[in-house]
Structure 1
Amino acid sequence: MKIQVYSEIGKLKTVLLHRPGKELENLTPDILERLLFDDIPYLKVAQEEHDFFAKTLRDEGVEVLYIKDMVVESLENHPEVLSNFLNQFIEESHILSKAVKDAIYNYLANMTFEEIVEKMIEGIRTNEVKLVKNNSIMDMLENEYPFYTDPMPNILFQRDPFATIGRGVSINKMYTDTRARETIFSDYMFKYHPRFENEEIPRYYNRYDRYNSEGGDMLVLNSKTLAIGISKRTDPRAIEHLAGSIFESDETFETILAFNIPKTRAFMHLDTVFTQIDYGVFTIHPLIMKHLTVFEITKENEKIKVTKVVSTLEDILKKHLHTEIKLINCGGDDMITSGREQWNDGANTLAVEPGKVIVYSRNHVTNDMLRKNGITVLEIPSSELSRGRGGPRCMSMPLFREKI
């Protein structure tokens, strides 16, 4: 079995990352908002910080895989799919000029598999590709923007394109066009990589499904319960569709909790305000301490049943996890500290085993609180990584955790 995630805290054995590359150097102030970034990270330091993150994982006995390598190995394993791969990428880059499409296809087709994937991620500048013909209005309009295909800086956050749920996956339909192409890589990895192609890995959601969903909103609380955020980027109809797929499978999940969270930048995904760090222990943004609206989704008489519940986070978790709950405020009780450290992903932790988490070192108040509550804290530097507004959980997709 190559895929297994039945909790947020079971000992982490295999994880998928993306080491930041030249896509960060293709960020400019004019396109930051379009590409969902607030600032421009310094690539050299971002890579050093990310390497420290990967080393921290390896030091804990975790197998670290990289999405770029997995896609390259998929193409090497099935070179016959290259033409479809290139055409799909070009079509989903929303290029309107046929001359530009043809030129980009030829440009990429003359590269090695590794160069192709790197170039897709970093973006193709208009001055890199020469058109055979450039005599239509559309051809000339395409040249007014600095890129024929946009960079993919958000691929750093491997949590979002898909989610590992039990022994299957949800290949997500991303909310923005900027991130939509990332799931091409996830799709090809599971279809064609030798590690997965002969495995029976159920797909509970597909990138071609109708409604938006992102992995940062999906938390596997235990083998019976999932938590999914109804956020700006995950549609409630996607949650119901996903629930139906899971309940129709032979999975052990019995309840999906759909948390209605604020649709703001600070509450981008559920995992930016709420992550599990130990048995019954969670780090949270204190602004979700008030009463929450949660929809309990279950299966009854072969149909989906939805029950609306308004209660506290502690009571909701206690009911479904059947244990005492401890909630640790990101930044403590001081609202200024809390707001600052939550903005720098103080609540976005990655558990490598129960009671041991990877966090950003900059969130020192939260980290001290975790230690005082008996949590082993593994700190990583983040002066540049944090500029992307995502923490250790955001940057990682567990593929295999031991059961608890």
Structure 2
Amino acid sequence: MSVDAALAPFHIPSETAPLRQVVVHTPGEEMTLVTPQSAEDLLFDDILFVEEARDEHATLIRLFQAAVGSDDAVVQLTTLLRQAFLEDGARESYVDRLIERVPSRNFEAYESELKSLEADDLLRFAVTGQAPFSVTAWPHPNLLFTRDLSAVVGDHVLLSHAATLARAPESVIVQTIYDYHPQFAGARDRVIELPPDVSFEGGDLLVVNESLVLIGQSERTSLGGVLAVARALLDRTSVEHVIMVNLPEERYCMHLDTVFTFADDDTCVVFPPIIEDARDHVFLIEAIDEQDLRFRPFPTLKDAMEDVTGRQFTFVPCGGSDPVRQRREQWTDGANLFAIRPGLVVGYARNHVTYDALRDHGFHVVDAESFLDFYGDTAAASTDRIAVRLSGNELSRGRGGPRCMTMPLVRG
């Protein structure tokens, strides 16, 4: 699980800098505990065929390992949490924070029993809600979407503050990892905690470059969350400009990355109705001094990005030019691509019109297995412009694409 000491443990200069290490969570027992009756409370629209979802996720992991050229490229969230639980005080801290973060779940009634659990048993409880004693707790199938747990910007990391009760315990999980896992021991002063009265999830933050980030005000990230993130980044990092995008507070566009992601440094896949057709919902935020922020409106996100960077950006429409296809493919995460390096992206194969649009913009389109077979051990050295199609028929039913399922720690 080691990476170059010059970069570890946090280093994200942009959305497309070559991937070095990423945290994922392969769906497991917690996903088998989702029922048709509990799915809505757990933020799922359907129940997944878990075995098939695991196979699809395994292919995604193999793709990362081949493209990065290292077995250390991919780290499981549960591995990090278990290792953190082995450290002195970690399990007690996790339980204390859980009680504080979700008081409505009444975990204080089980405090002594939870604190007495060994690492493996507490790990199972944290992920599935199951314990060796009777306890009322939910499983956490949304751990599949590790992106939302935190966001690395430069050499700092922002902790999430989940907007929903179903995901609130996940914020405790990731805070425990950063506070106690040995890998992050030298970087704890670079962990940014937000005020308790705001919400923020990592799917709403994209790093354009070392001085510019995008943040969505969305169903999951409040205006207070945007302002708290902007203030922290402007004060503590190399970020000089924050572009805020106001999104409809609707399920179909719960995060900015469900309607906008990068394919390379200057090419983005977008959902046109929100990113191009909507007007006057974008604001540039900059610091005036240590207390005050300045807001400057822009007609569109493209206008704001080009003004700040002095560069031109190409927007590729998710679902192509047909409004019906745009809405269908955005619903199945056609705009939620993950860039492994500039010009190498992965998304769901079912969004074939989006892939046609990428092909029109110079991308070679291949299936994941074909990519692995053709490039093999040379994948890490490839500089071809490639859009990889991942079979995600089950994963896509969870309402999250490859970017949602990845929390990069190190790029560059």
In the TM superposition, what are the counterparts of 1:1-400 in structure 2 within 5 Å?
Answer: 1-61=8-68, 63-76=73-86, 78-89=87-98, 92-93=101-102, 94-96=104-106, 100-101=109-110, 105-106=112-113, 109-110=116-117, 112-124=118-130, 129-130=133-134, 148-206=136-194, 209-249=196-236, 251-288=237-274, 289-290=276-277, 291-375=279-363, 376-400=386-410
Secondary structure of 1:49's aligned partner: helix
User: What is the identity, as a one-letter code, of the residue corresponding to 1:276?
Assistant: F
User: What is the identity, as a one-letter code, of the residue corresponding to 2:83?
Assistant: E
Q: TM-score, normalised by structure 2?
A: 0.87
User: What is the identity, as a one-letter code, of the residue corresponding to 2:88?
Assistant: P
Partner of 2:378: none
User: What is the identity, as a one-letter code, of the residue corresponding to 2:333?
Assistant: D
User: What is the identity, as a one-letter code, of the residue corresponding to 1:89?
Assistant: L
Secondary structure of 2:186's aligned partner: coil
Partner of 1:136: none
Secondary structure of 2:166's aligned partner: helix
How far off is 1:262 after superposition? 1.1
Please state which structure has a larger fraction of its residues in helix: 2
User: Would you say the 8 A contact 2:179–2:188 is kept in 1?
Assistant: no
State the percentage of identical aligned residues.
Answer: 32
Is the alpha carbon distance of 1:107 and 1:324 closer, same or farther for their aligned partners in structure 2, counting shifts above 3 Å?
A: closer
Deviation sequence 1:214-262 (CA, Å, 0-9, x none): 110001111111100011111112222222222222x221110111111
How far off is 1:371 after superposition? 2.4
State the alpha-carbon separation in 1 of the partners of residues 115 and 26 from structure 2: 22
State the alpha-carbon separation in 2 of the partners of residues 200 and 15 from structure 1: 18
State the alpha-carbon separation in 2 of the partners of residues 300 and 97 from structure 1: 44
Unpaired runs of 5+ residues, structure 2, are 1-7, 364-385
Partner of 1:144: none
Which portions of structure 1, spanning 4 or more consecutive aligned residues, are displaced by more than 4 angstroms?
90-93
Deviation sequence 1:137-184 (CA, Å, 0-9, x none): xxxxxxxxxx70111011110111111111101101110011011011
User: What is the identity, as a one-letter code, of the residue corresponding to 2:119?
Assistant: F
User: What is the identity, as a one-letter code, of the residue corresponding to 2:269?
Assistant: T
User: What is the identity, as a one-letter code, of the residue corresponding to 2:75?
Assistant: L
User: Would you say the 8 A contact 2:93–2:176 is kept in 1?
Assistant: no
Deviation sequence 1:183-204 (CA, Å, 0-9, x none): 1121111111111112355133
Q: TM-score, normalised by structure 1?
A: 0.88
State the alpha-carbon separation in 1 of the partners of residues 78 and 204 from structure 2: 23
Deviation sequence 1:28-61 (CA, Å, 0-9, x none): 1111111100000011111111111111100111
Secondary structure of 2:198's aligned partner: coil
Partner of 1:133: none
Higher gyration radius (CA): 1
The more displaced of 12-21 and 79-88 is 79-88
RMSD (Å), alpha carbons: 1.9
State the alpha-carbon separation in 2 of the partners of residues 89 and 241 from structure 1: 23
Partner of 1:138: none
Secondary structure of 2:183's aligned partner: coil
Secondary structure of 2:147's aligned partner: coil
State the alpha-carbon separation in 2 of the partners of residues 329 and 205 from structure 1: 35
User: Would you say the 8 A contact 1:3–1:167 is kept in 2?
Assistant: yes
State the alpha-carbon separation in 1 of the partners of residues 264 and 272 from structure 2: 18
Unpaired runs of 5+ residues, structure 1, are 131-146
Is the alpha carbon distance of 1:260 and 1:80 closer, same or farther for their aligned partners in structure 2, counting shifts above 3 Å?
A: closer
The more displaced of 317-326 and 33-42 is 317-326
State the alpha-carbon separation in 1 of the partners of residues 358 and 204 from structure 2: 23
